[in-house]
Amino acid sequence: MRFRHRAAAGFATLLLPLAGLVGLASPAQAASNATAGFTKTSDWGTGFGGQWTVKNTGTSSISSWTVEWDFPSGTSVTSAWDADVTSSGTHWTAKNKSYNGTIAPGATVSFGFNGSGSGSPSNCKLNGDSCDGTTVPGDAAPSAPGTPTASGVTDTSVKLSWGAATDDKGVKNYDVLRDGAKVATVTTTSYSDTGLTAGTDYSYTVQARDTADQTGPVSAAVKVHTTGGGTTPPPTGDKVKLGYFTEWGIYGRNYNVKNLVTSGSAAKITHINYAFGNVTGGKCAIGDSYADYDKAFTADQSVSGVADTWDQPLRGNFNQLRELKAKYPNLKVLWSFGGWTWSGGFADAAKNPAAFAQSCYDLVEDPRWADVFDGIDIDWEYPNACGLTCDTSGAAAYKNVMAALRAKFGSTNLVTAATTADGSAGGKIEAADYAGAAQYVDWYNVMTYDFFGAWDAKGPTAPHSPLTSYSGIPKAGFTTADAIAKFKSIGVPAKKLLVGIGFYGRGWTGVTQDAPGGTATGPAAGTYEQGIEDYKVLKSSCPVTGTVAGTAYAHCGSNWWSYDTPATIAGKMAWAKDQGLGGAFFWEFSGDTSNGELVNAISSNL
């Protein structure tokens, strides 16, 4: 189930600085005799309504006015009224119409617009001076850029991203300084430094230059230690230990990124898949803009312990993940697109893989959050087969999409995918060219769970995540071992296969038989959905009564559940190591206990 939420915007008027200089006919035109204020009149998540109000605070009439401001990248004016609005990059200019240029002393004039994105105006000016009525001095040097954030650290390279500097005339470029010496000049707010030495400490700062070639102060420094060199062993071993974090978990489940810290889980994993981005119109798209980058977290909800402010460039889960990576520098985050609900969009994506890959790259590498993500994960359920909807793109479509993604994202970003675990003869693994696509991915997350459940309302009861087959299993090939064997048999390397663990159980009611194979009357009640419940609930509400095929089951009253426990996870991790697999992943963090006992079972046994 997906939860959709939208925040109601506040209506506070913001007296913000405006940008640009206009020739004035007389002192009566000066902005020191006028002010301008901005009000966000509405907000619908992906866009908003805005209004500027110009007030004549002087004693003489104003005959014309020009309001200028900057929006962050990704925010723009889509339509406007009562002013002529133009832009140059992220800089916006609004000039009066012929009928509303004159403002009598004490009077006001307003103009409105609709905008896309979620940013707020900054650096605004009215007729060349600050909108609060103060006179702006001559050309000033730019401000310091935001502190750089390091990501994608390897033996010889690092990717740096930083918040944009501001300037009254506009920022022209940035100098990137390594250990105090300039190594590059760039026009964007990111840079990849290469040719470094393995196992070495570096310090990076950034300095902005304006269009008049004035340089501002340097930013605060970020320290980077390159991998390798025999001095930085991987903190969690060479196996991938990956968990899904759901964007909607911050709502009813009240599970925030900070919970990864308080549970101890962040220190025991290597990767996070942020789920989900949407796939629509053949493109990658935002899933929930409010949860992703707009929600303001309070100090007690925040990883850093500092509350979000209304005007900070990035809020929401993305900023919390940024704070998490600052606390755990070796942790990698991927943005996962699709999932059960949004996999229907892949059919259009497969028609033009290059355009799809470009759209995904542009979104993942958006300057507002490029430092947060280390790659992309594709959760297509299922290529050339049926899930919530049926896909008929053909067996080659999957390989073509993954090839395009790798070509666009390059070798420094991760490209991964969640795949079916249907190891039956003629099943979903055989429906698409997973073997051909494997050369383009870093690994496959094989979804070795949800084999059986109460969608078969009358049973037979069966464990939803069997490791191996057993006598009486409802369908041959529906096991972890069968799925992994099938992928290996078609040529997918074992090191590119991750075994999947569900942090939840699936169950039936109306069951009288303790052992698997009993009849039922329907799905058991669950907190969020019938037939499914979190491990943290089941461990005490319906304790384990037996095990079968490497996983646990529980019969309590008339309910019958199957789920993994720390003990069964230990067995599955031992099996994964024996198989030479690349690691394990799980769905998803919020199903675990508050002290992360399932994550610990994966980490300590893998």
Confidence tier at 98 by pLDDT (50, 70, 90): confident
Q: Would you place residue 283 in the very low, low, confident or very high pLDDT band (cuts 50, 70, 90)?
A: very high
In the sheet where 190-193 sits, what is the strand order? 149-151, 158-161, 190-193
Say what the pTM is.
0.65
Whether 12 shows a pLDDT value over 70: the answer reads no
Mean pLDDT of 340-362: 96
Alpha carbons 251 and 237: distance in angstroms, whole number: 34
Query: What pLDDT, on a 0 to 100 scale, did the predictor assign at position 226?
Result: 82
CB 36 within 8 A of CB 52: yes
The arithmetic mean of pLDDT across residues 282-293, rounded, is 96
- The whole-number average pLDDT for the span 252-267 is 96
Q: Which of 154-158, 294-298, 440-444 has the lowest mean pLDDT?
A: 154-158
Q: Taking 90 as the threshold, does the pLDDT of residue 578 lie above it?
A: yes
Q: How confident is the model at residue 135 (pLDDT cuts 50, 70, 90)?
A: low
Give pLDDT, residue 224: 84
Name the pLDDT band for 216 (thresholds 50, 70, 90): confident
Active site residue 381: yes
- For the cut 90, the answer to whether the pLDDT of residue 48 exceeds it is no
Q: How confident is the model over 51-84, as pLDDT tens digits?
A: 989 998 888 888 888 999 888 888 899 888 898 9
Tens-place pLDDT, residues 484-504: 999 999 999 999 999 999 999
Domains observed in the chain: 13-130 (2.60.40.290), 149-225 (2.60.40.10)
Q: Which residue in the list 247, 381, 533, 597 is annotated as catalytic?
A: 381
588 upstream amide cis, omega within 30 of 0: yes
By the 8 A CB rule, do 285 and 279 touch?
A: yes
Amino acid in the structure at residue 507: G
Average pLDDT, integer, range 542-554: 97
Residue pLDDT, tens place only, 264-281: 999 999 999 999 999 999
CB contact set of 391 (below 8 Å; sequence gap of 6+): 343, 344, 346, 347, 380, 382, 383, 384, 385, 397
**pLDDT score recorded for residue 25:** 29
pLDDT score for 32: 57
Q: Mean pLDDT across the stretch 382-389?
A: 96
Beta strands in 290-340 (DSSP E): 332-338
Q: Which residue, among 599, 586, 575, 547, has the nearest Cα to 482 in the 3D structure?
A: 575
Helix/strand/coil for 87: strand
User: 3-class SS at 272?
Assistant: strand
- Whether the per-residue pLDDT at 96 is higher than 70: the answer is yes
pLDDT at res. 38: 87
Mean pLDDT calculated for residue range 90-115: 89
The residue type at 228: G
What pLDDT shows up at residue 29? 38
Mean pLDDT of 357-383: 96
The least confident of 9-18, 235-244, 585-594 is 9-18
Confidence of residue 220 (pLDDT cuts 50, 70, 90): confident
Distances (CA, A) of 80 to 83, 92, 111: 7, 12, 8
pLDDT tens digits for 288-338?
Answer: 999 999 999 999 999 999 999 988 999 999 999 999 999 999 999 999 999
For the CA atoms of 357, 360, 366, 368, the dihedral, rounded to the nearest 10 degrees, stands at: -160
Task: For the chain, give the percent of residues with pLDDT over 70.
Answer: 92
| Average confidence score pLDDT of the chain | 88
Asked if pLDDT for residue 184 goes beyond 80, the answer is yes
Model confidence at 575: pLDDT above 90 = yes
Tokens standing for residue 282: 């053949």
